[in-house]
Structure 1
C-alpha cells in the first residue's frame, strides 16, 4: 500500500500453499516477460514427494499467479533450502541452482567415507539449464552432484574469469563447496 503499510494478498494472488515446509524463495523473471515470478523451495515430509515439490508461481500481470513448476521442469522433489539465479553456460538466459538438504540426520556428526560416496538425487543440489520453454537438469553433466546438508550460497565471479561461480554453505561436517 506504501508508507511501510502492507496488505496480505496471498489468497487473492493465488500463491497460497499449505503442503510441506516452504524454505527459500526467489523473485525472478522465468519467462522473460518483464514481470517478476516467484520460485518457492519446499522441504519437510520424508514420505510425501508431492509435499516437497518446489513451486513456480508465474505472474499473470493482473495481481495473480499460476503455479507452473512442472511445466517448466522445475518441480524438484528434493529437500530444497534455496535457489540461485545464474548464467552458468553464458548463453544470456537465466539458469537455476537449487540447494538441497540431506534427510539422514543420524550420521550428521560422524565421518564415514562410505556414507559420503552414496549420492541420492533428492538430496544432491541441482543445476537447471534454461532451454527457452523448459529447464533441463544438467547436474551430473556439470559435475556438481553432491551429498551435503546444503543451507544457502552465493553466485559471483570469485576467480575473475568472467564466468559465474557458485559457493555453497553446508551444515554439519560437510565442508562448504566452491564450484569454479
Structure 2
C-alpha cells in the first residue's frame, strides 16, 4: 500500500482522491492529521542565501543575478559594466572549454562546425539594452524554423531555454513513442 500512496504525493497529485476500503473495524486505518507550517520567511532567507552563494561561488556580478535589485534610475551602465566584469572573469574558462570542444569534436564523423571556429563568445554588452523575453522568443522561433533535426531542437529548448522535455518535443515536432 505504501508504494501505491506515492502516486498521490507531490504538487501534481494534490487533487487526486484516495479511496480506502476495509472489511471490519479492526482493520480500519488510522489517519493522523499533518499540520502544515507555511513559513514564507524561511524561503525568503533561503532565496537570499542561494543568491549570495551564486554570486560568491561563481564570481557573477550581483546585477546579473537579480535585476530587480538594480537601481531603477540606472541607464543600463551598471548592467553593462557587470557584463564586462563577467566576461573578464569567464575568459579563461571560455578559452579552456573552446579548446576542449575543438579537441573532442574536430574529428567527429560529421562535420558539425564547418568554419572550425570553436570560440565561446562573451556575453554582448548590448544585452543590457534588450528585453530578454522578446529576444528569447525571436530566437526560439528561429530555432524552430531552422533545418536542425527535431532532436537537436528539443535539446536546445530543454537545456538552453528550460522547457520541459515533453513541451520541447511537442514544439520541435518530435513524435512521442507510446
TM-score bracket, shorter-length normalisation: under 0.3
Q: Using CA pairs below 8 Å that are at least 6 residues apart, which structure has the higher relative contact order?
A: 1
Answer with 1 or 2: which has the greater Rg.
2
TM-score by length of 1: 0.22
The normalised TM-score by structure 2 is 0.22
Which one has the bigger helix percentage? 2
